[in-house]
């Protein structure tokens, strides 16, 4: 009985003592933190994709509360969520153009020529180390899905040997950009009416040998859209995404190689969300 009593008293005393220490420590070493950061963090998607340029969602929450960023900086949030965060903090939502990744290549298996059989590792970086990849074009998509494997949102699907981005799923986090050894993927405003689906800087004649849908720099689209809305760099037409042309340019330009196309018409097969990679 006595033993139990001693133990009970000892435990109670040490408990009280330690409690006091912890209480005092909490008082002396208190770090002032804004409770709003936690709340904003709750509202953010929590995918930690890095699309905003911050270390993760909690870092962005801190930046938004501190006023370094506008709530609209998160590329993943819907407008409603951005509005909610803005209303909660009583700040301006800020506008950020929603960006989506685009694979600038139209060379699917049926359109780009392949003169070799590749049966190595199914990975774009590995393939690019062997004789420059399976397709004849050294600048186009190899279709081995390295980008699809790194996408945290399963927004990239490889259809007929060509990586295609589902712009409705894509959050613009930019992970795929680094994974592509050909540097084919860029972030562009989701509202762009069309893209020039080609990345090859080679001369038109050379490109035509390798691919049916290469940009041959004929300048037809430039004439249709105007110099300030489109530009030609090297032998490659590009949409000026800061001053985007209208959708009617596709028809007016009548691209002879069908290299210009709207994102909806670009996919070589039908778009099936449920088939998204992985």
- CA distances to 24, 27, 183, 244 from 238, rounded to whole Å, are 64, 61, 15, 11
Choose one: 16-24, 40-48, 130-138, 192-200; the region binding other proteins (CB under 8 A): 130-138
> Which position has the token pair 């709003």?
36
Count of CB atoms situated within 10 Å of the CB of 226: 13
What residues from 237 to 256 belong to the interface with other proteins (CB under 8 A)?
none
Could you tell me the two tokens for 212?
Answer: 């049916």
Q: Cα dihedral sign for 214, 183, 266, 160?
A: positive
CB of 159 to other proteins, least distance (A): 23
Q: How far apart are the first and last CA of the chain?
A: 65
Q: Is 125 in the site for other proteins (CB under 8 A)?
A: yes
Choose one: 81-89, 120-128, 208-216, 266-274; the region binding other proteins (CB under 8 A): 120-128
Q: HSE (CB half, 13 Å, CA atoms) of 130?
A: 14
CB of 180 to other proteins, least distance (A): 14
Q: Is 121 in the site for other proteins (CB under 8 A)?
A: yes
Which string of x and - marks every residue 78-117 that binds other proteins (by CB under 8 A)? -------------------------------------xx-
* Residue 210 CB-density burial (10 A; 0-12 exposed, 13-18 middle, 19+ buried): buried
Among 15, 23, 120, 269, binds other proteins (CB under 8 A): 120
User: What is the 3-state composition of the chain as percent helix, strand, coil, each rounded to the nearest 5?
Assistant: 35, 10, 50
- Tell me the angle at which helices 79-89 and 35-43 cross, rounded to the nearest 10 degrees: 170
Q: Is 133 in the site for other proteins (CB under 8 A)?
A: yes
Among 48, 58, 96, 126, binds other proteins (CB under 8 A): 126
Choose one: 85-93, 103-111, 132-140, 238-246; the region binding other proteins (CB under 8 A): 132-140
Choose one: 34-42, 47-55, 87-95, 122-130; the region binding other proteins (CB under 8 A): 122-130
Contact 218, 230 (CB under 8 A): no
Contact 160, 109 (CB under 8 A): yes
Q: How many residues bind other proteins (CB under 8 A)?
A: 15
Q: Is 129 in the site for other proteins (CB under 8 A)?
A: yes
Q: Is 123 in the site for other proteins (CB under 8 A)?
A: yes
Choose one: 7-15, 19-27, 69-77, 129-137; the region binding other proteins (CB under 8 A): 129-137
Residues that bind other proteins (CB under 8 A): 115-116, 119-121, 123, 125-126, 129-133, 136, 138
């Amino acid at each position: 009985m006595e033993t139990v009593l001693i133990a009970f008293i000892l435990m109670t005393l040490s408990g009280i003592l330690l409690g006091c220490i912890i209480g005092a420590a909490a008082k002396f070493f208190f770090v002032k933190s804004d409770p709003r950061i936690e709340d904003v963090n709750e509202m953010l998607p929590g995918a930690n994709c890095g699309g905003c340029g911050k270390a993760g969602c909690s870092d962005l929450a801190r930046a938004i509360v501190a006023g370094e960023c506008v709530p609209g900086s998160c590329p993943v949030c819907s407008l409603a969520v951005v509005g909610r965060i803005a209303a909660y903090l009583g700040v301006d939502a800020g506008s950020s153009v929603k960006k989506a990744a685009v694979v600038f290549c139209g060379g699917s298996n049926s359109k780009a020529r392949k003169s070799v059989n590749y049966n190595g590792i199914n990975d774009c970086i590995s393939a690019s180390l062997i004789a420059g990849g399976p397709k004849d074009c050294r600048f186009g998509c190899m279709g081995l899905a390295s980008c699809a494997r790194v996408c945290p949102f399963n927004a990239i699907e490889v259809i007929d040997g060509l990586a295609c981005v589902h712009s409705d799923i894509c959050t613009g986090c930019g992970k795929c950009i680094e994974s592509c050894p050909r540097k084919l993927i860029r972030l562009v405003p989701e509202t762009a009416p069309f893209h020039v689906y080609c990345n090859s800087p080679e001369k038109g004649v050379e490109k035509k040998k390798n691919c049916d849908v290469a940009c041959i720099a004929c300048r037809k689209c430039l004439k249709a859209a105007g110099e300030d809305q489109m530009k030609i760099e090297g032998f490659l037409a590009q949409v000026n995404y800061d001053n985007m042309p209208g959708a009617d340019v596709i028809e007016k330009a009548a691209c002879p190689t069908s290299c210009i196309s709207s994102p909806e018409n670009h996919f070589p097969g039908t778009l099936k969300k449920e088939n998204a990679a992985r």
